[in-house]
Amino acid sequence: MLAQEFMRHALVTGSAVGIACGLVGWFVVLRAQVFAGDALSHVAFTGALAAAALGVDLRAGLFGATILGGVAIGGLGERARADDTVIGTLFAWTLGLGVLFLALFTTNGSATNGAAGVRVLFGSIFGLSTADVRTSVVLAAVAVAILAAIARPLLYASLDAGVAAAQGVPVRSLGLVFLALVGLVAAEATQAVGALLLLGLLAAPAGAAHRLTARPWAGLCLSGGFALASVWVGLTLAYVFPMVPPSTVIVSTAVAIYAAAMSLPSLGRLTRVNP
């Protein structure tokens, strides 16, 4: 399996995406912002199609749109935590724009380009070039580094925004930076598992980790580990059964881990620490 170049590329990129999604996802679930992640995944779709319709680099559209989208979602809400109605309204329209770009793109471009929409929606992890792999690893490292830099104040602000603000933690700008970070990770994951499925890597491993432990660092490690395991198991199964699309297996594995964690008795009560 490892002799195949496309498989090595998929494993390296998948691991980078998995770790970034798992770590950022832990905070997304803690802050109850999975819906914002969902919205950003759809913004990624529109951004990529806009870039395709306008003839600029796909990746520029992808990252530009999601990072801007993250800041917009944060800016609209109180304390950079937008309520779900505002998010829903905004991204319903974003999707509509995506449809327009898809129509423009498929009428202007050649017929073979019709597959681009599907690629953006569902990913193409087995079709990555060496340059793609390098970019994804660098971006994942950047995302993890930013997260590590803001992790402590972000944790404080997420658990008790009022007290954190009184102590001088910049709660609002932290929220904005965090949503921009979610945007970055969303764009990164779109290239691997597609815009529609990245929620599986963002929410499911983190949800399982939150269920199993209330300790922040243990939770982060578990979440990253679960996401990584989902990617590896998913890619292996997709290699063995070529009928099944890789993104489906990756996400199904992540959800299976989540379901298993939910059926276990909570360890949180045993290991809960009082902050």
Partner 1 sequence: MPTSAVFTGLDWHPVHDARELVAYPFMQHALAAGTIVAVTAGVVGWFMVLRRQSFAGHTLSLTAFTGASAAGLAGVPVIAGYYLACGAGAVALAAASGSRRSLSRESAATGSVQALALALGFLFISLYHGLLSDLDSLLFGTFLGVTRDQVLVLLLVAAPTLALVAVAARPLLYASVDPDVAGAAGIRVRLLGLGFLLVLGISVAETAQITGALLVFALLVTPAAAAHRITARPVAGVAVSVALALAVTWTGLALAYFSVYPVGFWITSVAFAVYVVARAAT
Judged by the rule CB under 8 A, the positions of this chain that interact with partner 1 are 29-35, 37-38, 42, 83-90, 92-93, 95-97, 99-100, 102-103, 114-115, 117-118, 121-122, 194, 196-197, 199-204, 206-207, 210-211, 243-245, 247-248, 251-252, 254-255, 258-259, 262
CA distances from 266 to 135, 270, 275 (A): 38, 8, 19
Q: Shortest gap between Cβ of 202 and partner 1 (angstroms)?
A: 7
Q: Are 32 and 21 in contact (CB under 8 A)?
A: no
Q: Exposure pattern of 101-111 as b/e (b: 16+ CB <10 Å)?
A: bbeebbeeeee
- DSSP 3-state assignment of 249? helix
Q: Shortest gap between Cβ of 60 and partner 1 (angstroms)?
A: 23
Q: Shortest gap between Cβ of 201 and partner 1 (angstroms)?
A: 8
CA-derived radius of gyration, the chain: 18
Alpha-helical (H) ranges within 123-245 are: 130-159, 161-166, 171-193, 198-212, 216-240
| Helix/strand/coil percent split, the chain, to 5 | 85, 0, 15
DSSP string, 196-231: TTHHHHHHHHHHHHHHH---HHHHHHHHHHHHHHHH
Nearer to partner 1, 168 or 275 (CB): 275
In 3D, which of 201, 182, 188, 178 has the Cα closest to residue 251? 201
Q: Shortest gap between Cβ of 125 and partner 1 (angstroms)?
A: 13
Nearer to partner 1, 8 or 79 (CB): 79
Q: Shortest gap between Cβ of 48 and partner 1 (angstroms)?
A: 15
Give the position of tokens 């990617």.
Answer: 231
Nearer to partner 1, 64 or 88 (CB): 88
CA 114, 128, 58, 97 torsion-angle sign: positive
Nearer to partner 1, 68 or 100 (CB): 100
Q: Shortest gap between Cβ of 97 and partner 1 (angstroms)?
A: 7
Q: Shortest gap between Cβ of 35 and partner 1 (angstroms)?
A: 4
Nearer to partner 1, 144 or 257 (CB): 257
Nearer to partner 1, 33 or 213 (CB): 33
Count helices and strands in the chain by DSSP H and E runs: 12, 0
Q: DSSP letter for 266, please.
A: P
Nearer to partner 1, 133 or 267 (CB): 267
Q: Shortest gap between Cβ of 36 and partner 1 (angstroms)?
A: 9
Nearer to partner 1, 51 or 196 (CB): 196
